[in-house]
Structure 1
Amino acid sequence: MRRSLPVVGDLLAFQSDRLRFITSAHRDQGDVARFRLGPFPVWQLAHPDLVRSVLVTDAAGYRKGMVLQRARVVLGDGLLTAEGDVHRHHRDLVQPAFHSRRITGYASVMVDRSAAVSASWAPREPLDVHAATVRMTLETAGTTLLGASVDVGTVEGALADLLSAYKLAFLPFSQKLQGLPVGPLRRLQRGRKRLHGLVDSVVAERATSGRDGGDLLSALVLSDDRLADQELRDEATTLLLAGHETTANTLAFALHLLAVHPSVQASVHDEVDGLGEPGPDDVDRLPLCRAVVSEALRLFPPSWMMGRQALVQHQVGSHVIEPGDLVVLPQWIVHHDERWWPQPYSFDPSRWLGGAAGADRPRWAFFPFGAGLRRCIGEGFAWTEAVLGLATIVRRWRLRPVPGRPLRLDPLITLRPRGGLWLIPEPR
């Protein structure tokens, strides 16, 4: 275990450059690394077999990690943060909305939003494509999940406020500090108020009108097994944030990868041109687009590190994880491990093409959506939106990088581009 500072442990080094910190921990200590973030002993487990153990075989011995525990101040007992019977009950209620048949119905909204937003771009003018994909996915989430138009500025402003408090998650006594109206904590409270106000108005309208818009919120409000008002707010808030943020990031990174690899972009153009205007039934007819999205999820995983907290003692080789210890499973490390991914930092969509692609790779060497009972319920929704969104955009535009505006990463709760992700769209 590395030498740590009193009280804060390795927190300052971690906050200074999170990706470099976890990468160096893996390089120095291997697949089982140990460090301390504030008062919390942390075990970094970076092997696919250990990922399977924590998320699948021994999942009952863990609960959500510290970041999502702290996120309950905003998300309450939504699917991301709830535990035990509450999580199982809510998942059973929400699951039908993510059935493949329902997602096919949502797909037309995904294509329409992608087409409308990208049609507004100015030819040959530098564009923050991350801001654009956020708008696309947020409008889609509002329509398909909440059945309402949402104010993009309000949600993004609230999300920025919430993300500003990420660094506080591992501070000593951070849970007791959350009510103080200072600095990032003031922004956290402001973001929560803005987001809850927006969601409460949508929930109240639906409950009063009894209108069934064919969206997820309608199903929850009108269900015979209706959730309490607080539970409805928690689920609606969670779905609005989780239903757009990670997909927006993935789609932006995929567009960046195409812009800096023009030969692959040309092949994607060929695939999309052969299909015509993308439609709800075309996801399976776009294998190269899906492969590009897969590489974006591997190279820039929106969930760059998953956290759990041990409830019981666990033996990992010669190491003992004690109850209360934190465990982190870093997609950033596992997805870039040369044992599973030859030339791991290279963009190579062919990894995902062909019937035997990945046959010799451990199952959990790729886990962008988690695993086990807590696997992301919206995975199918995200794949559909990312693939169709990519196809819709590249059918209209050829993208190239903006000189002097390199991609910079910001690993907060999710992995985002710092300062936007700037590309130049050229009409095809």
Structure 2
Amino acid sequence: MGNVTAYEKDRVGFLRRHHRDHGDVFSFDERIVFTVDPRLAHQVLTATNRDYVTEPAPFAGTSAPRDAGEAARPWMRARRVLRPALADAAPMVTGMDARFVAVLDDVLDRTAGREAEVLPLMLDVTGRAAAELCLGEDAAGVPDLLAAVHAVLLPFEEAGYQLPAWVPLPRNRRFLRVHRRTSETLTGLVRARRAGAARTPPRDLLDVLLAARPAMSDMAVTSALWTVLIGGHGVPAAALTSVVRELAMRPELAAALADEAGRPGGDDEPGGGDGGPQGGGGGPQGWDGGPGAGARPGGAGRPRARLPLAEAVVREVLRLWPPAWTMTRVACAAVDFGGWRLRPGDEVLSVPYLIHRDPRWWPDPDVFDPSRWPAARPAPGTYLPFGSGPRRCLGAAPALRQLTLAASRIARRFHVRAPDAAAAEPAFCGRLAPAGLRAAFHPVEP
């Protein structure tokens, strides 16, 4: 078992010790290397699809195809098709603001005043939002499938090793059963939509994929939908759970967020104020504009312009508690890596959690300090909440937008009470989120 037992006992402690004792690059076993060097992490992420491939899903077959570009080609084409629709100021993204806030309100109003586990609530929010963005009015039932997929993936994310699919373990059978049901459901939706009249302009991401020319196969469309749905479910839910924890521990911060949301033009309700997110046009796309970047009156609106503190809180949460706290790439050829010679099939695990907390790159790295934003200009590889390179999270801009709206909305509408928030330390397996965090959302009196 090598280092598996020690790693499973305390994953982040294991990595901290070996980083301290052996430096920025150290081996776990004969085929796995960890790095806490941002330059090497950036190098690996930018070389993905050429020298490396992403970590395969359970039972996806070989992890190191000879031609990484060929293996990635269908998804990379889907990314090019979807990218304009997922830009921060794209109509489909801004049009989701009102629905996202409505879903958040609905989920939290149903538990208002009663203590509940936070992560399942946030998975409900993000599952419904992702399903509506991808499938529009055909989203019914898909959030339940996403919840089932999340449940069957957990044992694989928590395990230090994986047995072959033919081993009749209960977790293997459950995964294959849910995977088959989800694939059949999505394929059925794709075929039914394709059989109907094309909708112009497209109303959801399925419309965008079906409008691609040359046409994409049903399998390629289904695979793209699957990837976007899974990515839009677990990661933002984990981040939202960490946001709730910070608000519960910092009532003065929650009060400042509520004050910001109540200012003219700062209303987190879509359509409110001069910078309301409904309508066309808006500020420049992306999140890297200067502090003066913002929405024109009546324009699409950008949460960074209207809610700068809320966005800073989200960015700082993603720095301290990145949901994707490790990122795996698999070498598909013999490559040099920081003085090491990797063979095809060797794995490199970058550790954003430790990179984000390294005093070489961040002053007071363990301190929660939203004031470091937006002035912070992280060097390549030192801030990786959404990865980087050709496989950077496709939904990074809308995710950051929705997280910003959520942080503001929760602070404005609720007093968050979680007496055990400080003790709910994040669990270092799967997506990083506070383990077992429970909170009560008490409505603010009008």
Q: Please, what TM-score do these two structures have when normalized by structure 2?
A: 0.82
What residue in structure 1 maps to residue 189 of structure 2?
202
Percent identity of paired positions between Structure 1 and Structure 2:
28
Deviation at 1:59, TM superposition (A): 6.4
Match for residue 439 of structure 2 among 410, 423, 426:
423
1 CA distance for matches of 2:83 and 2:223?
16
Listed as ranges, the matches of 1:12-411 within 5 Å are 12-36=5-29, 41-56=31-46, 60-65=50-55, 68-70=56-58, 72=60, 83-99=71-87, 100-101=89-90, 102-123=92-113, 125-147=114-136, 148-151=138-141, 152-167=143-158, 170-171=161-162, 174=163, 177-210=164-197, 212=199, 214-274=203-263, 275-279=266-270, 280=277, 281-283=301-303, 284-353=305-374, 357-359=375-377, 361-403=378-420, 406-411=423-428
2:330 is paired with a residue whose SS is strand
2 CA distance for matches of 1:377 and 1:71?
24
2 CA distance for matches of 1:315 and 1:209?
51
Q: Aligned in 2, Cα 1:224/1:110: closer, same or farther, shift over 3 Å? A: same
1:121-152 CA-to-partner distances (Å, cap 9, x unmatched) read 322x2122222221111111111112233433
Deviation at 1:411, TM superposition (A): 3.1
1:288-308 CA-to-partner distances (Å, cap 9, x unmatched) read 101111111111111111111
Is this contact kept in 2: 1:180–1:186, CA < 8 A? no
Q: Aligned in 2, Cα 1:417/1:71: closer, same or farther, shift over 3 Å? A: farther
Deviation at 1:119, TM superposition (A): 2.6
Q: Which residue type is aligned with residue 376 of structure 2?
A: G
Q: Please, what TM-score do these two structures have when normalized by structure 1?
A: 0.85
Q: Which residue type is aligned with residue 245 of structure 2?
A: H
Which structure 2 segments of 5+ residues have no match?
A: 271-276, 278-300
Deviation at 1:18, TM superposition (A): 2.2
Q: Which residue type is aligned with residue 182 of structure 2?
A: L
2 CA distance for matches of 1:90 and 1:159?
23
Which structure 1 segments of 5+ residues have no match?
A: 1-7
2 CA distance for matches of 1:404 and 1:47?
31
2:322 is paired with a residue whose SS is coil
1:166-219 CA-to-partner distances (Å, cap 9, x unmatched) read 356744xx4xx1133323212211321332243234223322334636100122
1:60 is paired with a residue whose SS is coil
1:301-340 CA-to-partner distances (Å, cap 9, x unmatched) read 1111111122333334543333332111111110111222
- Taking only aligned residues, the RMSD between alpha carbons, in angstroms, comes to 2.6
Deviation at 1:93, TM superposition (A): 2.1
1:364 is paired with a residue whose SS is coil
1:365 is paired with a residue whose SS is coil
1:363 is paired with a residue whose SS is coil
1:55-89 CA-to-partner distances (Å, cap 9, x unmatched) read 22686221223xx353647xxx9xxx984433332
2:416 is paired with a residue whose SS is strand
Deviation at 1:342, TM superposition (A): 2.7
Deviation at 1:282, TM superposition (A): 4.5
After TM superposition, the structure 1 stretch with the greater mean CA deviation from structure 2, 408-417 or 243-252, is 408-417
Q: Which residue type is aligned with residue 13 of structure 2?
A: R
2 CA distance for matches of 1:71 and 1:370?
24
1:227 is paired with a residue whose SS is coil
1 CA distance for matches of 2:54 and 2:261?
40
1 CA distance for matches of 2:429 and 2:71?
23
Q: Which has the higher helix share?
A: 1
Q: Aligned in 2, Cα 1:225/1:58: closer, same or farther, shift over 3 Å? A: closer
2 CA distance for matches of 1:333 and 1:371?
16
